Every structure is written in structure tokens, then in C-alpha cells.
Amino acid sequence: MIGACLMAASPASAEMAISAYGGFQTAPHSDIEVSDDADFRAGWDGKSFEMPPYYGVRGTWWMEGMGRPNLGLSVDFTHAKVYADSETLDRSGWSHFEFSDGINLLTLNALYRMPIEGTKFVPYVGAGAGINVPHVEVTRASGRTFNYQLGGATVQAQAGVAYEFTDNWSAFLEYKGNYSWVDVDIDSGASLKTNILTNAVNMGVSYKF
């Protein structure tokens, strides 16, 4: 059975693609629950083009030769990020609060593409789930937190259109949204919980082989 699966996944029966993208990412307000402090509502800035920038990479397996040429599976890594705005810092009394080295998102997704006959345009949609690994940056009167942690689960939805310049190269424009349940530890043995929705408009390139 293992041998049959490997044969099914051989290059003769599949189309592989590697993609890289950047774009403009935002996040609406979210409620912050802190186990040893007052809860508050955070406003977020995305700062997509400031260092470290927002970006992502994706590997996609299209099931060519398996009777489902328009169905694919992807593994997607996104370096999304959020910064608490000045009003949030004033309201919380914290001097620093952000996930700027990433609410790093790793997801497994199902994709479906819809080639437009007679053109090089290929619309597609996708959805999936995975994990978020935020870099937690909190500085408050009781201490400082500055580390990567496993935050919890994330779900993803996307829709876009690719343009195939050649048999191997294409460019794409898409919307991608992630909803992440973040539950992390901060200083003094306390915990912080919040649910963060990131919305992004991505532009990228893909190479298929």
C-alpha cells in the first residue's frame, strides 16, 4: 500500500508548485484576557512593509494525472504580525505589546482552481487549518516576555486569481484571511488569551514543475 501511494505521488501523476508572496496585512481589534491583570481591547497595526516584513511561502501539489487536475493540497507558512497601537498601550498601562516577529502561521489547505478556457487566467479558492506560533512581546510593570510560543490553532480561507506567463511561471493576486486562537504565557506566571483575525491582500509568483 505504501508503494502504491508513492507511485501516485510521483512527478508523472502530479504537478508541484512553489510560491512566494508579500502584501498588505491588517487585523481588526480583539479582546485581550490576562489572568492576573485587567482585561482590555486591543487595536492592532499591521505595518506590513516595516522590518520584519509580512511575507509567506507555499508549496502546492496539484493532482494532475489522478483524475482531479484542479484539486490541490498546499502547505502554507505566513509571517503575519500585529502591533498594539498607542491607544491600546495607554489603556493597558503596558509599555510594549506586539507579535512583530510574527503570529507565524503554518497551515495545510485544500485548493480548487477554475481555469478560464482560452485565457491564461486561473481563479482559485482554498481553505485549511493549522497552528500559530507567535513571538510574544509584552513589557509591563511586573516584567517582560520576549519569546516564541505555540499559541494554538488557526483556520484559513483564501481566494485569488493566477496568470500563467509560461508553462512554469505564474503570478497571482489573492485575499487570505486567518483566524487564530492565541493562548500564551507571559511574565509572573500569567497567561494571555486573544483571538486575532488577519486579513491580507497578497501578490506573489509561483514556479511549477
- Per-residue pLDDT, 62: 94
Convert the pLDDT of each residue in 53-99 to its tens digit: 999 999 999 998 677 889 999 999 999 999 999 999 999 999 999 99
**Inter-residue contact 124 to 159 (CB < 8 Å):** yes
Strand 152-164 to 121-140 pairing: antiparallel
Spatial distance between the Cα atoms of 29 and 32, rounded to a whole number of angstroms: 10
pLDDT at 12 over 90: no
3-state secondary structure the chain: CHHHHHHHCCHHHCEEEEEEEEEEEECCCEEEEECCCCCEEECEECCCCCCCCCEEEEEEEEECCCCEEEEEEEEEEEEEEEEECHHHHHHHCCCEEEEEEEEEEEEEEEEEECCCCCCCEEEEEEEEEEEEEEEEEEEECCEEEEEECCCEEEEEEEEEEEEECCCCEEEEEEEEEEEEEEEEECHHHCEEEEEEEEEEEEEEEEEEC
- Per-residue pLDDT, 40: 97
Convert the pLDDT of each residue in 86-127 to its tens digit: 999 999 999 999 999 999 999 999 999 999 999 999 999 999
- Per-residue pLDDT, 14: 73
- Per-residue pLDDT, 13: 58
Domains in the chain: boundaries: 14-208
**Inter-residue contact 32 to 40 (CB < 8 Å):** yes
Rounded to the nearest integer, the mean pLDDT of the chain is 93
Q: How confident is residue 3, by pLDDT bands cut at 50, 70 and 90?
A: very low
Tell me if the domain spanning 14-208 has CATH number 2.40.160.20: yes
> Tell me, what amino acid is at 13?
S
Place of cell 503570478: 171
- Which comes out higher in pLDDT, residue 39 or 4? 39
- Per-residue pLDDT, 64: 81
Mean pLDDT over residues 155-183, rounded? 97
